[in-house]
Amino acid sequence: MNNKNLKQTFRKSLAAIAITSILATAPVYASNTSGQIVGETIISNGAIIGQVEVTIINSATGLTRQVTSNEDGKFRFPLLPSGTYNIYATKDGYSIAEQEGVNVGVGDKTNLEMIMNIEGIETIEIRGSSVALLDTTSTTSSLEINAEEIARLPVSRDISSVAALAPGVNKGDNAFGNLVSFGGSSVAENTYYVNGLNVTNARNAVGFSRIPFDMYDDVSILTGGYSAEFGRSTGGVISATTKKGDKEFKGGLNVVYRPDSLRENAPNVYRTAEGVDKFVNQYLQYNEGVIQDRTDVNLWASGELIEDKVFFYGMYNPIFQTRENTGNWTYSTNETDDAFYGGKLDWYIDDDQTLELTFFSDERTEEVTIEAYDPINNVKGQYINNNIFHAEYGRVVQPKFGSSTGVYDVEKGGLSFAAKYGYIINDDLNVSVMYGQTNSKQNTKPVTNADLSVITDRSTGRRLQGPITTGVQIQDDTREQLRIDFDYYLGDHELRFGLDYEIITVDDLSDPSGDGSYSYSFDTGVLFDYLETGEGLEVADSDLVRQTIFENSGVFETESMALYIQDKWEVADNVTLNLGLRYDQFNNKNAEGDSYVKMTDQIAPRLGIAWDPTGNGDMKVTASYGRFFLPIATNTNVRLAGRERFQIIDYTFTGIDPTTLVPEGLELDRVTTFNDGSVKDTKQLLDSSIEAMQQDEFQVAFSQSFLDDFTWGAKVTYRDLITGIEDVTVDHALAKAAEAQGIECTTCYGNYYVVTNPGSDVTMWADPDGDGPGEFQKWKLPSEDLGYPDMERKYIAWDFTIERPWQDDWSLRASYTWSHSWGNYEGSVNSDIGQFDSGITQSFDFPGLVDNSAGNLPNDKRHQLKLSGAYAITDELTVGFNSSLMSGRPKNCMGFHPSNTVPPGYGPTAFYCLEVDPESDDMENPDYISVPSPRGSHGTTKNTFVLDLNLKYNTTIAGVETHASIDVFNILNKSTPSRYNPTGQAFDPNTLQPIQNPDFGLPVSYQRPRYVQFTLGLKY
C-alpha cells in the first residue's frame, strides 16, 4: 500500500462513518458502561505482521493497557471506559506507529489499523481524532447520541424526547405521561437502563426513574434486532450512561429556566350549542390560567480522589417549580422543594480490574391542593353547584356544611444504586458482575380531612366532604438485580454469555379514610340546598345511602431469571453471523408468597447476518429475526392476588351528621361482596395452560457511507404478536360447563376473572355453586364457549435515513418512516380509555368489549418525517433545529354495548355508536339505535408539525468556560389536537335517556404549546 492510498484509507476511516446512524451502529449491551478497541497490525504494503506490542493510554485518566498482536496481527482491548485514547505500536526493527485522539463510546467497537514502517524508511505519522468504522458485523438497529450532540440540538430535557429522534419511535398517549412507543408496541413494553441498572418502573413498566438531563453522557436507543442479552421487552430499549470523573478537577453550575410568561396555553375547548343546552357548562375543557414556572439548578463536580486510581463525579439538582392548573371546575396547585442527588465512582484497581459505583436519589414529595373553581366568574370555592338543579348558572358555592377542598401529599422516587466489577482474565476472556437495586414509591396521603369518610352525591359525582383522595395509597417498590456477563474470544467467534436475574418486591396498601365512602341517592337539589343553608333536609323511607369499601394489602414478588449466549461469528472477511439464544423464566407470587404464575422454558432465538458487499467497511446489508418475551407485570399480582376487600353496602337512614355528613340511623338494606379480603386460591386466578406474551420480529436493512462524511440507509421491519396475556371473565362459559354436569353456577355474576391467552381454551379451578353440592374442581372451558378472539397486533414499517455527523461545523440527520400498526390489542396499556393497569386492562374483560375492536391501533401513525441538525456560525455561536411532521392517530366512536353482556359500570367503552333510528315516530326527539363502530373507522387526528430552534453561545470569562443558550420549542405555536373525545354516547341529564353525545369528536388534548428555555452554564 503506497502513501497516497494510505492517506485515502485513513481519510475514509474518519469521514465516511456515522456512528450515530440508526442502521449502522456498534452493538450495545445492557450491562455496558464501556467500549472496546479492536484492530490489526500491518506493514505499509498491506502485509500482516504479528507479535507487535500495542499500548493504549486514556488521555483523561491515565489508564494504561498493553497487549501483543497475535500471529494474524489482530489485537483487542475490551472493557474500556468511554473516553479518548492514544495508541502506540512497537516492534524491534520498526518505527513506532501511533494514533492519538481515538474516541471510544459506550458499546462502541472501534476498528483500527496500526501501520508499521521499517526503520529508516519514510513514514507517515497518523494523528488526530479517530471515529469508529461502520460496524459491518452488527445487526442491531439503534441510535447512539452523546451529550455534546444533544447540547447542540433543541431537544426537550427528558430521555423520551431524545428517544423520539430515532425512526419508528413516537410519543405515546399523554394519559401515561411523557413516554414513547417503539415499533407499534405500547408505552409499557420498553426497558430503561442507566449504567447497566434497570430503572424501569417495577410495578407496571409505565415510566422509569428520574435522572437530571445534565447527568447523562451517552444514550443508546435500541429499536430492533437487539441481541440475546436483552429481554423482558417487546418494545424498545433505552440504555444510558452518566458522566464520570478524570484526572482534572472540574466543577460547574448549569441553570435552566422556563418562564411562565413566555409559555403559551392550549386552546379552550368549547361545547357546541347542543352541548351547552344539555350540559350547561360552555367548556368541555378549560385550559386558560395554567401557570408553569420552573428553574433547574445543576451543581456538579468531578475529579481524581486517588492518583490514577479513583475518580468521582457528583451532581446536586434542586428544582424550584410552580404548577397551577385551572381546569373545567377545579383549581390545582403543586409544590415541591426536594432535590435530586447522585454520582459515580470509578476505581481502576489495576490495569485489568475496574470497579464502578453508581448511586442516585430521585426521592421527592409533592404537596397538591385541589379546589373547586368556577372558570366563568373566576371564583374558587369548596364544591360546585350547577343549574341542572338550580336556576343560577353553574357556580362555586361556600357551603355551611361539607368541604371538597383538599390537600394531599404524593411521595415519589427513592434511592437506587449499582456496583459493577470488571476483570480482564486474559487476552481471550473477561467478566463483569453487576449488583444493583432500584427503589421507588408512589404514595398518596391525604392531609386535610384525613380521618373523615368521603361523601359524594351519587347523581352528579360531586365530592361534598372528606379528603380529596379516597384514603391512603402506599406503593413501595424495589427491584434487586444481578448480572454476570462473560466475553470469550475464540478464533473467529466473539462469545458473550451470562446470567440476568431480578426480584421485584412491591409493598401495596389501599386503606380508605374513615369508614370508606358514602353516596346519597335522594334528590340532589334538596341535598345541595341543605349543604348551603343547613335547612330543608327531609329523608324519605325510600332514600338510600351507599357505602363503598375498597381496601387491599400485601407484599408481592416477581422473580425473573434468564440465561443467554450470543455468538458473533465472522464466517468470512465480509460476512458475520450473529447467533443468540435466551432462556427466560418468570415467577409471579401472591400476597402469601405462593406462585400463581410460573413460566419456564421461554426460549428466544436471536439470529442475524451482516454482509459487507465491498469488503471496504463502507456498506452493509443485514437481516435478523428475534423472538421477545414480556413477563406479567407485578401490578397483576396486586390486583388479582392480594387481600382485596371490595363491598358495596346499601342502607336506609334517618339523617345526616351536620359536621361529617356521615349518615345516621343506618339500617342494612343489601350487601354486595365482590372480594371478601381473603387471598384467592391461585388455581382460580390462572389458566394453567397459559403461555407467556411473545412477539416475533423480522428486519432487513441496508446502509452505506458516501461523499466521505454521509451515510444513508433503508430498513424494513415486521413485528407480529404471537401470544398476548390479559384477564378475562369466564362466568358465562363456566355456567354452561357447570349446567352440563347438573350444577347451578350461583357465583357466576362477574366474579371469575382469569389471566389467560385470549382466544385459547382456559383450564382453571372453581366451585361454581359456592356452598352447594358441587366441589372445588378443575374445569376446562373451550374457546368457543368463552367467545374471545385471538389477540392480534401486527406492525410493518419502512425506514429511510440520511445522516452527516458533526464535522466541519455542521451536522444533519433526517429520517422518513412509513408504518402501519393494526390488530385488536394495543398491548400492556389501553390508550383508548387511558388505562395503565399493565396486563389486566379491560380490553378483553368481556367478549362484548372485543366486538369490532380490530382495526388500526392507537400507535398507528402512518407517516413520520424527522429532521434535525446544527451549524456553527462562528467558533462561539451555534444554531440548532429539530422538527417533525407526523400523521395523526386513529379516531374511534365508543358507546355502551347494545346487549347486556357488558356491565353498565364499564361505561361507554365498547366499539358501538348511536345513530338515529330511521323508524322513529318523532324525528325531532328521535329514538336511537346502537350500531357497530369498528376501531379506527372515524378517520385520524390531523397531522402534527413541530419546529424547535435554539441558539447557543460559548465563551471564556476570566478562565471560566461559559455558555448561554435559548431554546424555543414549537416556535410556530402549532396547536393541533392530539386526541379527540371518543365517547359517542351519553345520557340526557334531564330525561336520563341515551343520546348521541354532543361532545363527541371535540379535542381533549393538544400538542404541547410553545415554551421558551434559557440556560446559563459555568465550568471551571
- Model confidence over 198-216: pLDDT tens digits? 999 999 999 999 899 999 9
> For position 29, what pLDDT does the model report?
55
Q: C-alpha 418: how far from its chain's center?
A: 21
What's the confidence (pLDDT) of residue 244? 94
Q: How confident is the model at residue 7 (pLDDT cuts 50, 70, 90)?
A: very low
Pairing relationship of beta strands 330-336 and 339-350 according to DSSP bridges:
unpaired
- DSSP symbols for 322-367: EEEEE-SSEEEEEEE--EEEEEEEEEEEETTEEEEEEEEE--EEEE
Mean pLDDT, rounded, for 322-329: 82
Residue holding cell 474470544? 489
Q: Which residues contact 789 (CB under 8 A, 6 or more apart)?
A: 758, 759, 824, 850, 854
DSSP for residue 477 = E
Type of residue at 430? N
C-alpha grid cell, residue 730:
369466564
**Is residue 470 pLDDT above 90, yes or no?**
no
Average pLDDT for residues 525-537, to the nearest whole number?
79
pLDDT single digits (tens) 908-933: 999 999 998 888 888 878 888 999 99
What's the pLDDT score for residue 46? 80
**Gyration radius from the chain CA atoms:** 31
Grid coordinates representing 337? 422543594
Number of C-alpha atoms within 13 angstroms, CB side, residue 575? 2
CA–CA gap between residue 142 and residue 1020 (Å, rounded): 34
Q: Which of 7-16, 132-141, 162-171, 393-402 is the most confident on average? A: 162-171
The mean pLDDT value for 809-833 works out to 96
**pLDDT > 70: what percent of the chain?**
94
What integer pLDDT is reported at residue 393 of this predicted model? 46
Extract the C-alpha cell encoding 10. 485513513
Residue 68, beta-bridge partner list: 53
Q: Is the pLDDT of residue 187 over 90?
A: yes
428-431 — which CB contacts under 8 Å span 24+ positions? 428/488, 428/489, 428/490, 429/486, 429/487, 429/488, 429/489, 430/78, 430/79, 430/486, 430/487, 431/484, 431/485, 431/486, 431/487
- Mean pLDDT of all residues belonging to the chain: 89
**By the 8 A CB rule, do 252 and 1017 touch?**
yes
Query: How far apart are alpha carbons 904 and 595 in whole angstroms?
Result: 34
Write the DSSP symbol of residue 785: H
For residue 588, name the pLDDT band (cuts at 50, 70, 90): very high
Burial of 80 (0-12, 13-18, 19+ CB in 10 A): buried
For residue 31, name the pLDDT band (cuts at 50, 70, 90).
low
φ, ψ at 723 (rounded to 5°): -145, 135
Q: Output the pLDDT for position 22.
A: 33
Q: Each residue of 482-507: pLDDT tens digit?
A: 999 999 999 999 999 999 999 999 99
Q: Which residue has the higher pLDDT, 659 or 730?
A: 730
462 vs 1004, residue with greater confidence? 1004
- Whether residue 901 has pLDDT greater than 60: yes
Q: What is the pLDDT of residue 523?
A: 66
Helix (H) or strand (E) holding 737: helix 731-740
> Which pLDDT band holds residue 524 (cuts at 50, 70, 90)?
low
Nearest to 634 by CA among 410, 479, 782, 427: 479
Distance CA 597, CA 687 (A): 9
pLDDT category of residue 107 using cuts at 50, 70 and 90: confident
Residue 124 has pLDDT above 90, yes or no: no
Burial of 57 (0-12, 13-18, 19+ CB in 10 A): middle
* Residue 15 reports pLDDT greater than 60: no
Distance CA 582, CA 694 (A): 13
Alpha-carbon distance of 559 to 422, in angstroms, equals 25
pLDDT digits (tens, 9 = 90+) for 744-768: 998 887 678 999 999 999 999 999 9
Name the strand (E) or helix (H) holding 260. none
Query: Quick one: pLDDT band at residue 109, thresholds 50, 70, 90?
Result: confident
The letter for the amino acid at 387 is N
Distance, in Å, from the CA atom of 155 to the CA atom of 219, rounded to the nearest integer, reads: 13
Q: What is the mean pLDDT of residues 210-234?
A: 94
pLDDT tens sequence across 855-899: 999 999 999 999 999 999 999 999 999 999 999 999 999 999 998
Mean pLDDT along residues 693-715: 94
Highest mean pLDDT pick, 458-462, 497-501, 516-520, 922-926: 497-501
- Please report the pLDDT score of residue 66 as a whole number: 92
pLDDT value at residue 394: 55
What pLDDT is recorded for position 121? 55
pLDDT at 365: 92
pLDDT at 395 over 60: yes
Cα dihedral 6, 11, 17, 20, rounded to 10, equals: 130
Stated as kind and residue range, the H or E segment containing 635 is helix 634-640
DSSP 148: H
Residue bearing the bigger pLDDT, 391 or 405: 405
What is the C-alpha separation between 464 and 675, in angstroms, rounded?
Answer: 27
